[in-house]
Structure 1
C-alpha cells in the first residue's frame, strides 16, 4: 500500500493576508460577536508557544525535510520488521514524551478555554495530541464536561493500548519502558538534569542521530502476560499516517460542526483530510468560516472563507476580552484564564539530538 504524507505547498504564488494586530482583532470580533455558538478547530500551530514544534513552516512545507513518520501498518506489523519499527518509535517517543507531558498551556490555549467557559465557543475539535487544551480547561471543568466539549480528533499521547485492547496510562507505560531499558533511563535522567530538551515533534517523536534501535526493549503488555500470552504490539492512542480515525470520532466531529453556527480554524494548514473535510462540511452547510493561520492552507481555494495570516497568541486573548466584557469581572475563572498562559516557543534550530548512551 502506498501512502502519501500530506503537504501544503504554495509554489511561490501564495500572497499572505497580513493585517495590523488591531485589525486582525477587530475582524475576529466582528466574526464571533454575532455567534450563538462557535466551533473551533485547532492544529499544531496553536501549541508552538508552549515549546512544541509545528510540522510545517510558514510556507506549508515540513520544517524538517527529513521527517519520515512511521506508518500505522509498519507499527502494528507482527513480524520482525514491525518489531523494528516499534523499537524505533518507542525509543524516540520515550525521550520525546516528557517535554510534551510537562508542557504548559500558552495564551492561545487559555484564551480558547476562557471562550469555552464564557460560552463563546460551543465545541472544540483539536488535531493536537498534546493534551494542552484539556490541561487549560481542566482546573475549571470536571472531566465529563471537558470530554463533552473537547474532541481530540487524532487521539492523545496520554494513553497506550495493546493490539488486544488493553489500555494503559502513558505515565505507567513510560515507567515500564524505563524498567526495561535502564541505560536509556540513565540517559533520559541526564538530559533532564542538564536541562537539555530533545527536538520534539507534535506527536512526541524526537530526532536522534546515529542511534541503533535494535537493543531497545519494548515491554510486553502486562494484562496479556496475566492472561498467559506475550504481546509487545503496543501503540499510543494516536492516529498514525495510514490509520483511519474511529467511526464515532468522525461522526462526532461532523455533529460538532453541525451544532454550531460558524467555524473558527486556528493554527493549521488543514493538510490532513480528517480536518479539511470539516471545513468543507461547514461551507456546504453555508456556515461562516474564519481561518487564522500563518501561511497557506488546504482550504484557501474554498469559496466564502475569511482568512487572515497571523499568530493566535497575539490576538485571541484580546478578542475574548472584548466579546466577554464585564463577564470577566464577575467570573474569577475567566479572569484567571485570561491572565495566564506561557509564551516559550522552541529554539529556532535545525539540529538533531546528540547520540544516545555509549
Structure 2
C-alpha cells in the first residue's frame, strides 16, 4: 500500500491545480487518469490508478461545481450501479482484442451536444446540413461557414472529460486494441488516444476539386480577412443570444452555432482553394455522404477481427456505425453498449448499460485488477 501513500502527496498538488483550472474555466482541463504497475503484499501486480481515495472524493466534489454548465448538453441518467461497473469491467477483462466505437454521447460532458438524446440538437428542431446541400448550394455553404466561424472559438475551448481520459488510460495499458470514433471534435486525441476518425474531423478543410487541405485554424483567419465587417459583428456575440429566437447562440455538434440569418444571407464571402480556386469543405462526412472506402474498410476489418465490441455514447443509428456492430456480431464477438436511450444495436448486445460515459469509465480503473497483457507493461 506504499504506492498509495506516495500517491497522496501527488493528489494534493493535483487538487490545487484542478481547483484553479475549474475556477478559471467551467470546462477546464481535467487531470489525466494515469496508470502504473503496483505490487501488493500477496505477490501479484496490476495496473492501478495512482489516485488516493480522499483525492477521488475531492475530485467529485470539485466537478459538482461545473455540472450546471453541462446541464444543457448532458442527458439525465441515474448514476451507474456497482453491478453496472462490475459487469463492464468483466466484459473488458475477458477481451484480448477489444474494439471500441465512440459517439457523440462521450463528448456531451465536455459541453458538445449530441444529435438524438432528449437534450440533443434534434430536440430543438435542428437539421444538420447534408452533403448534397453543401455541394450544390452557395447559400447553404455561406450558412454553414458563417455559423462555423461564429462557433469555432467556443468549440476549440472544449476539453476532454473523464471518459476520454479513462479510455486513453485503458488504451495505453493495452486493453483497447482498436478504437473508432464517430466524433469530429478530436477530444480523444487531446486525451492521448489515437482513434480512427470514421466521419473525419472539423480540424481540417479540404478542396472538393484538387483534394488539397489546410488546417481549420488557418481557414478561420481566411474567413476573418474576407469578412471583416461580419467577423467583427459575430465576435461581439461571444456565444450569446443574437435575437428573439431562444435557439440563437446554441452550440451544435459540428462546431457551429445558431446565428441570425443576417450574418450569412448578405455578403458573407467564402475563400476559394488557394491552389485551384475550388470549393472548400470541412473534412467531415456530412449526412448523405459516404465514408471514404479505405477508412470504411479499415473499420470493418477491425470489427471482424475483434473478440469483443464496446459501444460508448452512440445510438449506432448511422449505417456506417451499425455496419461495424453487425460485422462484430457476425464474427461472434460479444457486444456491450454504454449509452443513454435506445440504440440501433440493442438487439445485438449481450450487455446494455444506461449511464453517462464520464461516470462509469473512470470507475473501471478502481475495480479489481485488469489483466493487462505482459507485453503492454513497461
- Residues 203-243 of structure 1: per-residue CA shift (max 9 Å, x gap): 1122223435231110121122xxxxx33x11100001111
| Partner of residue 344, structure 1 | none
Q: Does 1:305 align with 2:350?
A: yes
| Shift, 1:158, TM fit | 0.4
- 1:126 is aligned, of 167, 176, 181, to 181
| Shift, 1:185, TM fit | 2.1
Higher relative contact order (CA 8 A, sep 6+): 1
Q: Does 1:114 align with 2:180?
A: no
| Shift, 1:195, TM fit | 11
Q: Say whether the 8 Å CA contact 2:249–2:258 is kept in structure 1.
A: yes
- Residues 70-119 of structure 1: per-residue CA shift (max 9 Å, x gap): 21122112xxxx11111011101111222222211000111111110111
Q: Does 1:155 align with 2:207?
A: no
State the alpha-carbon separation in 2 of the partners of residues 191 and 160 from structure 1: 25
| Shift, 1:60, TM fit | 8.7
| Partner of residue 204, structure 1 | 255
| Partner of residue 35, structure 1 | 95
Q: Say whether the 8 Å CA contact 1:160–1:167 is kept in structure 2.
A: yes
Q: Say whether the 8 Å CA contact 2:111–2:158 is kept in structure 1.
A: yes
State the alpha-carbon separation in 2 of the partners of residues 217 and 209 from structure 1: 16
Larger radius of gyration: 2
State the alpha-carbon separation in 1 of the partners of residues 224 and 368 from structure 2: 48
| Shift, 1:258, TM fit | 2.6
Q: Say whether the 8 Å CA contact 1:33–1:323 is kept in structure 2.
A: no
| Partner of residue 11, structure 1 | none
State the alpha-carbon separation in 1 of the partners of residues 173 and 257 from structure 2: 37
| Partner of residue 9, structure 1 | none
Change (3 A) 1:35 1:206: same
TM-score, length basis structure 1: 0.75
| Shift, 1:19, TM fit | 7.8
Q: Where in structure 2 are there 5+ consecutive unaligned residues?
A: 1-76, 243-247
Map residues 44-63 of structure 1 onto 2, 5 A cutoff.
44-58=104-118, 62-63=122-123
Q: Say whether the 8 Å CA contact 1:38–1:264 is kept in structure 2.
A: yes
SS of the aligned residue for 1:25 comes to helix
State the alpha-carbon separation in 1 of the partners of residues 366 and 270 from structure 2: 48
TM-score, length basis structure 2: 0.71
- 2:214 is aligned, of 149, 162, 168, to 168
Change (3 A) 1:118 1:86: same
Q: Say whether the 8 Å CA contact 1:60–1:295 is kept in structure 2.
A: no
- Residues 170-209 of structure 1: per-residue CA shift (max 9 Å, x gap): 1000100000111232134324498999422111122223
Out of 267-276 and 68-77, give the one that drifted further.
68-77
- Residues 256-300 of structure 1: per-residue CA shift (max 9 Å, x gap): 223321011011111101001111111111101000100011112
Change (3 A) 1:193 1:93: closer
Q: Does 1:72 align with 2:131?
A: yes
Q: Does 1:238 align with 2:284?
A: yes
Q: Say whether the 8 Å CA contact 2:101–2:311 is kept in structure 1.
A: yes
| Partner of residue 273, structure 1 | 319
State the alpha-carbon separation in 1 of the partners of residues 104 and 325 from structure 2: 17
Q: Runs of 4 or more off by more than 6 Å in structure 1?
A: 193-197
State the alpha-carbon separation in 2 of the partners of residues 242 and 193 from structure 1: 29
The RMSD of aligned alpha carbons is 2.9
State the alpha-carbon separation in 2 of the partners of residues 193 and 261 from structure 1: 44
State the alpha-carbon separation in 2 of the partners of residues 53 and 153 from structure 1: 18
Q: Where in structure 1 are there 5+ consecutive unaligned residues?
A: 1-16, 139-145, 225-229, 334-358
State the alpha-carbon separation in 1 of the partners of residues 370 and 350 from structure 2: 27
Q: Does 1:295 align with 2:348?
A: no
Map residues 210-229 of structure 1 onto 2, 5 A cutoff.
210-211=261-262, 212-224=264-276
Q: Say whether the 8 Å CA contact 1:153–1:245 is kept in structure 2.
A: yes
SS of the aligned residue for 1:245 comes to coil
State the alpha-carbon separation in 2 of the partners of residues 310 and 58 from structure 1: 14
